[in-house]
Amino acid sequence: MKDLDHYGKVIRSYAGTGKLQDSDGSTAHGAFQCAQFADGRILCQLSLEEPIDSEKLQVFTSLAGTTSEGRSIEAKHLQFTRASWKIPFEYVVTFLARELYVRSPRSAPATQVQFAITNFDFLGVEPHIEPLPDGRQRGGLQLRWTLDGREVIVRRIRDYGDVLRMIKATRGIDLTATAWVSPVTEHDIDEVTQLTDDLCMLLSLARGSRIQWLCWDALSNDGYIVSSYHRDSVTRPYSSLYLIPSNPPRHTHYFLEKCFDSYRRQKRPWQLEQAIASYVDAKSAFDYLESMGLKMAVVMELVRSCYLELTGKVHIIDDGVFKSEQGELKGRVKEVLRVVFPGVSNSQIETMENHVQGMNWYPFRRSLREMFRYFGLTVSSKELQRFVDTRNELVHRARYASTAPWKEYVMMMTLVGKALLAILEYDGYYYDWTKHSGRVGSDSPMAVKMEYKHEGDG
């Protein structure tokens, strides 16, 4: 088999011998290579002595074996992609995998977990010294938090500068950081991975770019890798449309410190995983600007929907009461329509009458106004109307409302970002992109402080 580098940048690879398995117990043996790439994909290749029919290859669900270093490996949820002959007599089958588990032969208790993280552009606030393989030491700055009773440390990878320059230039995806979480035991790995999922989601909101962990290593006290896990993570290209300033780094540190508990508390009622993932996706520079605006409108719809659910305002009056009288109401409306529009056909009257069911839905603009008041955010009537006008044009005509589409987009992006920050009860600095002057940083006019004013405040 050939190296897997031509499929993309490999961040970790394994080789050895193993067997394919399906749910009925059928197997196929051979030498394998498995690799995870910087964009999250996991690829497995197996070299077989005899060809297998492609229909049979479709039913294999897992690959199990032993690496050349003696580690046990299991790839799960396989998806067959291709099979080909390699000279001289080698039949190679290729699969994508959703998960990859690797376990070391030596038994040792895990005390910390190291996660590999993509596309996190950051400055540290705390100095640290890291030993290098050649015996030298390397200094740097790191971010450190205590989250859910565990210490979380985020550090740059060694070639961070080169990698960051490349992903910024190409809007690419690559590893930029590692996150170290401790203390852990073998029984609470799931809790630690959930904690890191939450960490990455908040960092994604802060940076406006999908930040994701691809794999983890569970390590013993002496640094021995007890086990590893890789997943086919959802990744997205790099974006520079930050929400939280990265410089000075205290803003990022404070944002996580302030919002982590709020995020966990509000995650379900406000559907924050979906909202933040969609918000970040709406900043993808690979989309048309109209598509980015439509996605941003969808995020606001989601946040508005959650607000209406939580405050009992989905309907203006009780929906059961409304539906019980809907027939009577439609009849009365039809009568009025015939009086007011005597020349209109019956089919047109019936079409107009069918809009009655929407009379009990909370109006879009009013619900936005009340939602921002609920958050304690001051949003002028002019700002709300601009958002509504832009949203309506995008939804109904797939275009912006003015000849300055970028200004309309950043207006939407900033307003949606403020709503998400308000849900998280954030009171620090954020970027208002409507004030963009060509530079970023704490001295930029874009960097403004979240301010709240609730009813009854002076």
The residues with which 272 forms a beta bridge, in sequence order, are: none
Percent pLDDT > 90 in the chain is: 73
Which tokens hold the place of 428?
């620090």
On whether both 430 and 310 belong to a single domain, the answer is yes
The pTM for the full model equals: 0.92
Query: Whole-angstrom Cα distance, residue 282 to residue 243?
Result: 13
CA torsion 435-439-444-446 (nearest 10°) is 30
- Whether 52 shows a pLDDT value over 90: the answer reads no
Assess if residue 25 is contained within a domain.
Answer: yes
- Whether 108 shows a pLDDT value over 70: the answer reads yes
Higher pLDDT, 301 or 83: 301
* pLDDT value for 456: 62
- Whether 405 shows a pLDDT value over 60: the answer reads yes
On whether both 39 and 83 belong to a single domain, the answer is yes
Enclosing domain of residue 341? 328-361
On whether both 405 and 420 belong to a single domain, the answer is yes
CB 446 within 8 A of CB 432: yes
* pLDDT value for 87: 65
On whether both 151 and 126 belong to a single domain, the answer is yes
Query: Whole-angstrom Cα distance, residue 210 to residue 281?
Result: 8
Which residue carries 């944002």 as its tokens? 255
Query: Whole-angstrom Cα distance, residue 189 to residue 231?
Result: 14
* Averaged pLDDT, 240-259: 94
CA torsion 35-40-41-47 (nearest 10°) is 10
On whether both 343 and 444 belong to a single domain, the answer is no
* pLDDT value for 383: 95
Peptide bond into 183 cis (omega under 30): yes
Domain count of the fold of the chain = 4
On whether both 95 and 149 belong to a single domain, the answer is no
The model's pLDDT over 182-233, given as tens digits with 9 standing for 90+, comes to 999 878 999 999 999 999 999 999 999 999 999 999 999 988 999 999 999 9
Assess if residue 455 is contained within a domain.
Answer: no
* pLDDT value for 445: 77
Could you say which of 63, 78, 103 is where a domain stops? 103
φ/ψ of 308, rounded to 5, equals: -65, -40
Could you say which of 51, 74, 103 is where a domain stops? 103
Compute CA 275 distance to the chain's CA centroid, rounded to the nearest angstrom: 9
* pLDDT value for 111: 94
On whether both 299 and 428 belong to a single domain, the answer is yes
The model's pLDDT over 348-364, given as tens digits with 9 standing for 90+, comes to 998 998 888 888 888 99
Assign 171 to helix, strand or coil: coil
Could you say which of 56, 78, 103 is where a domain stops? 103
* pLDDT value for 458: 52
Exposure of 24 by Cβ count < 10 A (0-12 exposed, 13-18 middle, 19+ buried)?
exposed
Assess if residue 133 is contained within a domain.
Answer: yes
CB 431 within 8 A of CB 445: no
Helix (H) or strand (E) holding 409: helix 405-423
Assess if residue 162 is contained within a domain.
Answer: yes
- Whether 444 shows a pLDDT value over 90: the answer reads no
* pLDDT value for 299: 98
Higher pLDDT, 452 or 456: 452
Assess if residue 374 is contained within a domain.
Answer: yes
* pLDDT value for 437: 65
Which residue carries 């508390």 as its tokens? 265
Query: Whole-angstrom Cα distance, residue 158 to residue 451?
Result: 39
On whether both 283 and 431 belong to a single domain, the answer is yes
- Whether 442 shows a pLDDT value over 60: the answer reads no
DSSP state of 356: G
On whether both 63 and 153 belong to a single domain, the answer is no
The model's pLDDT over 388-401, given as tens digits with 9 standing for 90+, comes to 999 999 999 999 99
* pLDDT value for 367: 95
Mean per-residue pLDDT over the chain, rounded:
92
* pLDDT value for 51: 85
* pLDDT value for 56: 85
DSSP-H helix ranges across 7-105: 54-57
* Averaged pLDDT, 258-280: 97
CB 292 within 8 A of CB 236: no
On whether both 291 and 229 belong to a single domain, the answer is no
On whether both 177 and 120 belong to a single domain, the answer is yes
Amino acid letter, 382? K
Query: Whole-angstrom Cα distance, residue 39 to residue 236?
Result: 8
CB atoms closer than 10 angstroms to residue 250:
15
Name the residue among 35, 187, 43, 217 with its Cα closest to residue 117.
217
Query: Whole-angstrom Cα distance, residue 189 to residue 193?
Result: 6
Query: Whole-angstrom Cα distance, residue 375 to residue 398?
Result: 30
Between the alpha carbon of residue 204 and those of residues 144, 170, 237, the distances in Å are 17, 19, 12
Instruction: Say which CATH number the domain at 67 has.
Output: 2.40.10
Assess if residue 256 is contained within a domain.
Answer: no
Assess if residue 253 is contained within a domain.
Answer: no
On whether both 334 and 219 belong to a single domain, the answer is no
Assign 374 to helix, strand or coil: helix
Residue 280 pLDDT level (bands cut at 50, 70, 90): very high
Compute CA 327 distance to the chain's CA centroid, rounded to the nearest angstrom: 45
| CA-based end-to-end distance of the chain | 73
* Averaged pLDDT, 312-321: 90
Assess if residue 250 is contained within a domain.
Answer: no
The model's pLDDT over 3-47, given as tens digits with 9 standing for 90+, comes to 788 899 999 999 999 999 988 878 899 999 999 999 999 999 999
Residue 133 pLDDT level (bands cut at 50, 70, 90): confident
* pLDDT value for 440: 57
CB 32 within 8 A of CB 47: yes
Query: Whole-angstrom Cα distance, residue 117 to residue 175?
Result: 5
